[in-house]
Structure 1
């Protein structure tokens, strides 16, 4: 649709000749990346999910879980919550909370004959690793979803490692970074050197940024 619209427009009247006409949603791209990853590893966190589902199935079970946590002097106060298949961040929150109550699940497995889905030590370790991998995505999504501050200038350092997104929009995201007084061109040059090595100066293309900034002004 974007290509069809551009064919019918005089691109000379558009900012930067229309090169910035199509902007992908960074939060949506992160969502797609994480969902693809979770599809590959969902079996590995199945026991944790089943355990959370068991102990949140009824108010009585929830009460017993909380009572056992108190008996074990577990200091955490977060409530268990089952994840939703359409919201990957709920999977992160589910794993993060379940890991806090690992000892509670273990104790209850000895007291509740019907509870048969206790994760093995290896499965707990896998869940911990997955949670650690999801945390940066969760934090980035929180930043992108802010409503009380500008978000375009926060994209650069959060999405530059995702080629599918970065290759298309790094020009305009670079501009928003340059306009942020905390970053300026120095941040672009630093990270582009890490990403592109000897091609860094070409990729930064200061002249191009100056033209875009001029057209914005």
Structure 2
């Protein structure tokens, strides 16, 4: 599933900080020295995300949050860093939010990896993976207002492909789940009953 990340000041600031450090070999070299000076045990290189790919945003935040102290040291070692970013230098609260978002996106990363595997059959796994994602999105709605907005957008994208109104769904995938001894028809029926019940409850609460 592709999804355009909702605008977020903390993530934008961290993204801009990464972009600044990667802008030239000289800046990157100074940053690497900051990583070493802070004795951070991480060999992962900084990377920028693609806003329409959850995995890339997860990867960007996962790498950056591990070396937060290096950004603070870089702020002192490279005066133009703060002059260029001005009020956009990531603060403690920004890093805290980034870690929370990183944790929320981690499940999507694992599910994508599972679905993209090439050394074993994955078609029979789609139902369990889909239900895990559905449950995760719904749980996100109860964390805080920002997470709910993000989850609502994710839910819309999810429903486009897997929702009850999708007319172009490939039902062969369901048969693959039914034929899997770990799933069978009973588990499939139970899962969709939970989905439909949850959707109806949410519609009733919104009065639609």
TM-score (norm 2): 0.68
Aligned length: 164
Query: Is 1:90 the counterpart of 2:56 in the alignment?
Result: yes
Distance 1:126 1:41 in 2: 13
Equivalent of residue 15 in structure 2, options 43, 49, 56: 49
- 1:192-207 alignment runs, 5 A limit: 192-196=192-196
Distance 2:33 2:20 in 1: 16
Query: Is 1:147 the counterpart of 2:118 in the alignment?
Result: yes
Structure 2 portions without partners, runs of 5+: 135-157, 199-208
**Post-superposition shift, 1:86?**
5.6
CA contact (8 A) 1:65 1:104 kept: yes
Structure 1 portions without partners, runs of 5+: 1-29, 199-217
Distance 1:68 1:126 in 2: 23
Match of 1:180 in 2: 180
**Post-superposition shift, 1:78?**
0.6
CA contact (8 A) 1:159 1:165 kept: no
Match of 1:12 in 2: none
Assess, with a 3 A threshold, how the Cα gap between structure 1 residues 133 and 113 changes in structure 2: closer, same or farther.
same
CA contact (8 A) 1:156 1:174 kept: yes
- 3-state SS of paired residue (1:150): coil
Q: Which runs of 4+ in 1 moved over 4 A?
A: 85-88
- 3-state SS of paired residue (2:48): coil
Question: How far does the alpha carbon of each residue in 1:24-66 deviate from its partner, in whole angstroms, 9 at most, with x for none?
Answer: xxxxxx11xx22xx0x234441110011111111222222222
CA RMSD of aligned residues (A): 2.4
Query: Is 1:106 the counterpart of 2:77 in the alignment?
Result: no
CA contact (8 A) 1:79 1:97 kept: yes
TM-score (norm 1): 0.66
- 1:60-139 alignment runs, 5 A limit: 60-85=26-51, 87-116=53-82, 117=85, 118-139=89-110
Distance 1:76 1:186 in 2: 46
**Post-superposition shift, 1:146?**
2.2
Match of 2:25 in 1: 59
- 3-state SS of paired residue (1:83): coil
- 3-state SS of paired residue (2:42): coil
Question: How far does the alpha carbon of each residue in 1:147-166 deviate from its partner, in whole angstroms, 9 at most, with x for none?
Answer: 22222222212224233322
Distance 1:183 1:146 in 2: 20
CA contact (8 A) 2:10 2:95 kept: no
**Post-superposition shift, 1:179?**
1.6
